[in-house]
Amino acid sequence: MNIVLKAFLFLHNLSSRKAFIFFTSILSFTFYSHSLKAEDAAKAEEESTFESLVSRVEKTTLENGVRVLYLERTLTPVFVGQVWVKVGSSDEEPGKSGAAHLLEHMAFKGTETIGTDNFEDEKILASEEDQLHSELLASTDNEKNKEISLKIKNVEEKLAKITETNKFSELYQKRGAVGLNAGTSADYTMYTSSLPSSELEFWMFMESERLLKPVFRQFYKELEVVKEERRMRFDDVPTGKLIEGLMSTAYWGHPYQNLTIGWPWDLHNLKRQDAIFLHQKYYRPDNLTIVLVGDLRGHDYKSMISKYFGRLKKPKEELTFRNSGNISNNYFQQSGEKQVFVKYDAEPFVLSGYHIPNSPNPDAVLITILHSLLTDGPSSILEKKLVIDSQVFTSVLSTEWSGQRFDPLFIVGGSPKKNISSIDAINQMEKEIINLSKVTVPLKDFEAAKKRVRQGLIKSISSAHGIADILGSGETVLGDYKKLLVEEKIIKESKPEDIKRIVTKYFTRENRTVAVLDKKGYSSIWDRKL
pLDDT tens, residue by residue, 115-158 = 999 999 999 999 999 999 999 999 999 999 999 999 999 999 99
Predicted confidence band at 46 (pLDDT cuts at 50, 70, 90)? very low
Give the pLDDT score at 461.
85
Give the pLDDT score at 488.
79
Q: Residue 60 burial by CB count (10 A; 0-12/13-18/19+): exposed, middle or buried?
A: middle
Give the pLDDT score at 519.
79
The three-class DSSP label of residue 293 is strand
Is residue 30 pLDDT above 80, yes or no? Answer: no
| Cα–Cα distance, 314 to 323 (Å, whole number) | 21
The three-class DSSP label of residue 141 is coil
% of residues, the chain, pLDDT over 90: 73
Give the pLDDT score at 521.
52
Give the pLDDT score at 25.
31
Is residue 530 pLDDT above 80, yes or no? Answer: no
H/E stretch holding 124 reads helix 119-138
Give the pLDDT score at 331.
58
Query: What are the residues whose beta carbons fall under 8 Å from the beta carbon of 266, sequence distance 6 or more?
Result: 95, 96, 97, 98
Give the pLDDT score at 345.
86
Give the pLDDT score at 54.
87
Maximum separation of any 2 CA atoms in the chain, in Å:
73
For residue 529, the Cα-to-chain-centroid distance in whole angstroms is 35
DSSP 428-449: HHHHHHHHTTTSPPPHHHHHHH
Report whether the peptide linkage leading into residue 402 is cis, meaning its omega lies within 30 degrees of zero. yes
Is residue 256 pLDDT above 60, yes or no? Answer: yes
pLDDT single digits (tens) 357-379: 988 788 988 999 999 999 998 99
Under a CB-based contact definition with an 8 Å cutoff, are residues 513 and 353 in contact? yes
Find, among 211, 194, 200, 196, the residue nearest to 305 by Cα: 200
DSSP-derived letter for residue 319 is P
Predicted confidence band at 19 (pLDDT cuts at 50, 70, 90)? very low
**pLDDT average, residue stretch 189-196:** 98
| Cα–Cα distance, 31 to 379 (Å, whole number) | 22
Give the pLDDT score at 439.
94
How confident is the prediction for the chain on average, in pLDDT? 87
Under a CB-based contact definition with an 8 Å cutoff, are residues 221 and 159 in contact? no
pLDDT single digits (tens) 286-328: 999 999 999 999 999 999 999 999 999 999 999 988 766 554 4
| Cα–Cα distance, 378 to 111 (Å, whole number) | 51
The three-class DSSP label of residue 57 is coil
**pLDDT average, residue stretch 271-291:** 96
Is residue 48 pLDDT above 90, yes or no? Answer: no
**pLDDT average, residue stretch 45-50:** 55
% of residues, the chain, pLDDT over 70: 87
Under a CB-based contact definition with an 8 Å cutoff, are residues 406 and 327 in contact? yes
pTM as predicted: 0.89
Q: Mean pLDDT: which of 13-17, 271-275, 487-491 is highest?
A: 271-275
| Cα–Cα distance, 225 to 109 (Å, whole number) | 14
Half-sphere exposure of 332 (CA within 13 A, CB side): 23
The three-class DSSP label of residue 394 is strand
Strands 15-16 and 178-184: antiparallel
Measured over the CA atoms of residue 143, residue 147, residue 148 and residue 150, the dihedral's sign is: positive
Measured over the CA atoms of residue 105, residue 107, residue 108 and residue 112, the dihedral's sign is: positive
| β-sheet with 338-343: strand ranges across | 338-343, 512-518, 349-355, 409-416, 393-401
Predicted confidence band at 8 (pLDDT cuts at 50, 70, 90)? very low
Give the pLDDT score at 35.
34
Give the pLDDT score at 47.
46
The topology under which CATH files domain 338-521 is Cytochrome Bc1 Complex; Chain A, domain 1 (3.30.830)
Give the pLDDT score at 181.
95
Is residue 31 pLDDT above 80, yes or no? Answer: no
CB atoms within 10 A of CB 377: 11
- Decide which of 460 and 114 is more confident: 114
Alpha helices (runs of H) in 251-360, residue ranges in sequence order? 264-269, 272-282, 301-308
| Cα–Cα distance, 74 to 299 (Å, whole number) | 13
Give the pLDDT score at 6.
38
* Distance set, CA 192 to CA 128, 235, 370, 520 (Å): 33, 29, 31, 43
Under a CB-based contact definition with an 8 Å cutoff, are residues 373 and 381 in contact? yes
The three-class DSSP label of residue 122 is helix
Least confident of 187-201, 314-328, 336-350, 417-431: 314-328
Give the pLDDT score at 517.
93
Give the pLDDT score at 335.
82
| Cα–Cα distance, 215 to 336 (Å, whole number) | 47
**pLDDT average, residue stretch 414-434:** 94
Is residue 4 pLDDT above 80, yes or no? Answer: no
| Cα–Cα distance, 366 to 363 (Å, whole number) | 5
The topology under which CATH files domain 3-22+57-114+166-311 is Cytochrome Bc1 Complex; Chain A, domain 1 (3.30.830)
- Decide which of 2 and 197 is more confident: 197
Alpha helices (runs of H) in 362-442, residue ranges in sequence order? 362-375, 381-382, 422-435
Q: Residue 424 burial by CB count (10 A; 0-12/13-18/19+): exposed, middle or buried?
A: middle
Predicted confidence band at 27 (pLDDT cuts at 50, 70, 90)? very low
* Distance set, CA 116 to CA 132, 190, 215, 530 (Å): 22, 25, 10, 60
